[in-house]
Amino acid sequence: MSCEFPALILLSAGGGRRMGGPKGLIAVDGTPLVRAHLDAFASVSSERTVVLGADAAAHLCHVPPGVRVVFNPDWSRSWPADSLQLALRGRPIPLRAWVCPVDVPPPSPAVLRALLQGPGDRVPTDPDGRPGHPVLVTHNVLQKCQVAPPHGGLRTLIGTAQRVPTTAPVALNFNSAASLESFVRARRAGE
């Protein structure tokens, strides 16, 4: 296994209609999700890339120096898998990469360490065994995604990945105000 950390591809191009605006700009404990994710991966990524689309200018002020930014001009008509393909286009394919949508809880250091503990494609599972994010994928998967977005979306990336049990809410998606509120309440209760 290479001692080089995986690259990060953070997918934050969507408009977030159900949430009233782009999910990357939603603040959790005062920090926009786009920044919280980029910070969470800072010490375990060889390179960080964020794909932006809706309200890209508002996101940019939360993107730290050194992060590669890719714009998805068709964000309103495309899927997260299309943003992944854009991030990979015209670049050398990394040996491994974290692939993470912005509308999930930023991963804890414990989740990231657990995923790094083995080779191959890896996906964390929550206490109920449901797969979630981030997904750690290998060069072969990334190479296929560079040629064409995965048919069936990002979920196909985790189809054959090794499941890594965690105690974290890795299967939670912020698809409604209620799901975000529930996460924030649980997080504050656990502090």
Cα 33 to Cα 96: distance, rounded to the nearest angstrom: 23
Tens-digit pLDDT profile for residues 134-151: 999 999 989 888 887 767
Q: Is the pLDDT assigned to residue 2 strictly greater than 60?
A: no
Q: How far apart are CA 191 and CA 50, in angstroms?
A: 29
Q: How far, in Å, CA of 20 to CA of 187, rounded? A: 23
In whole numbers, what is the pLDDT of the chain averaged over residues?
Answer: 89
Q: Which two tokens stand for residue 174?
A: 């912020």
What is d(CA 97, CA 119) in angstroms, rounded to the nearest whole number?
Answer: 12
The whole model's pTM is what?
Answer: 0.92
CATH domain 7-189 topology: Spore Coat Polysaccharide Biosynthesis Protein SpsA; Chain A (3.90.550)
Cβ proximity of 57 and 93 under 8 Å? no
> What Rg do the C-alpha atoms of the chain give, in angstroms?
15
pLDDT digits (tens, 9 = 90+) for 56-96: 999 999 999 999 999 999 999 998 889 999 999 988 999 99
Q: Could you identify the residue written with the tokens 């965690």?
A: 166
With the CA atoms of 132, 142, 154 and 122 taken in that order, what torsion angle do they form, in degrees rounded to the nearest 10?
A: -20
The pLDDT of residue 191 is above 90: no
What DSSP string describes 81-105? Answer: HHHHHHHHTTSPPPSEEEEEETTSP
